[in-house]
Amino acid sequence: MKRWLCAICAGLLLLACCGCKGETNTAPADYASGNRPNGGAIIATGEADNSIYMDMRDGLYKVSADLQDKRLIAPISTNSLNLYEDWIYCWGRTEEQNGIFRIKTDGSSYEFLFRGKYPQIHEDKLYYICTDERHGTTNVYVQPLSSLTNDPLTGTCLVEGEDMDRFQIYENQLYVCGYTEQDPLYAHYYKYDLNGTYLEDLGKRMLEGDYQVYQGDVYATERQNQYYVTPDEGFAIFWHWYRSNGEGEMEMVGDEHYGSEVYNIYKDEIYFMRYAMMADGLHATLEKCDLNGDNMIILEHIPIQEDSGVLSIYIINNTVYLYGLDSYDIYYMYCL
């Protein structure tokens, strides 16, 4: 993911906890649709204590609900976490290897499977983008978990002809983000069925922003090279949200001032971070709006330090986790 905020340096993040009450975290957890495109660095354990698995700088950890107890599961930098039976499947990186790993949930062992990225498990099958150099391009493959091999090319190639940047499975359909040599500045969004049959061209936007799928629509962000004055006289970068319109195009969502590159969609609402440079430094707010960009509500003013790093939003079981992409830690928690 590309992040384009004001100049914020990496460093240690302030940890703020809230005692979240409400739903018990039992598998399957209630996830926001954007957790995966936000990096998939946090996933619920499925245990009643509301614990989570989380990628940190030196490996994958199991973390208690209050964030105070952190136990190393594997010394692998991970994202795209998937919990399946007693294994965690993920995209992992060590000094020697980069690709798809699987890790025992109790931390007793882990193994490198093959070269690939963005794994996603759906109906007992592992979907992934193959990065094996024998293949030459990065296309979407699938293998049944019951007969999983260590060779990514033994899987079924579902999508060919485009270099795939990312993909998501939503309601038994495959949404693919790809690019071409003829149009390298734009991300093209396509929809396929799970057999790899092409269904629809959903449109394109600049490659600068992230994209998510919700209720069959693709949402994407695009940065504009200009600033606007906020109501409290700060300065913020233009970010526009776009949504597929069912006619092969992407249309802007809401007021052009109020898009954000850091966002997630949960229960028919968009949760997002807004950053603004004020006279006394950088300010941030956690906000939400409806799917049309209307009914904006400020939920929380987030304390920002000069070394805070960029934040990403995860939502699990009515809890918002603001995750530092530079610190590999949870910066702030907010209970819905």
220 within 8 A of 209, measured Cβ to Cβ: yes
155 within 8 A of 142, measured Cβ to Cβ: yes
Give tens-digit pLDDT for 190-238: 999 999 999 999 998 876 667 899 999 999 887 765 555 555 555 566 6
**Least confident window among 14-18, 57-61, 201-205, 302-306:** 14-18
CA-based torsion, 98, 109, 1, 123: positive or negative: positive
Closest CA to 313 of 196, 199, 210, 187: 210
Closest CA to 228 of 193, 194, 264, 258: 258
Of the CA atoms within 13 Å of residue 201, those in its CB half-sphere come to 10
Give tens-digit pLDDT for 135-181: 666 789 999 999 999 999 999 999 876 667 789 999 999 999 887 77
> How far is Cα 278 from Cα 275, in angstroms, rounded to an integer?
10
Other CB atoms closer than 10 Å to residue 85's CB: what's the count? 8
> How far is Cα 256 from Cα 136, in angstroms, rounded to an integer?
39
- The three-state secondary structure class of 328 is coil
H or E element that contains 193: strand 186-193
Give tens-digit pLDDT for 251-289: 988 765 566 778 999 999 999 888 777 677 777 889 999
- DSSP of 10-51: ------B-----SS---SSP-B-TTTTTTT--EEE--STT--
- At residue 64, the pLDDT reads 93
Under the banding of pLDDT at 50, 70 and 90, the label for residue 3 is: very low
Place of tokens 């966002």: 263
Note the helical H segments in the chain. none
110 within 8 A of 102, measured Cβ to Cβ: yes
Kindly report the pTM of this predicted structure. 0.86
- The three-state secondary structure class of 147 is helix
- The three-state secondary structure class of 108 is coil
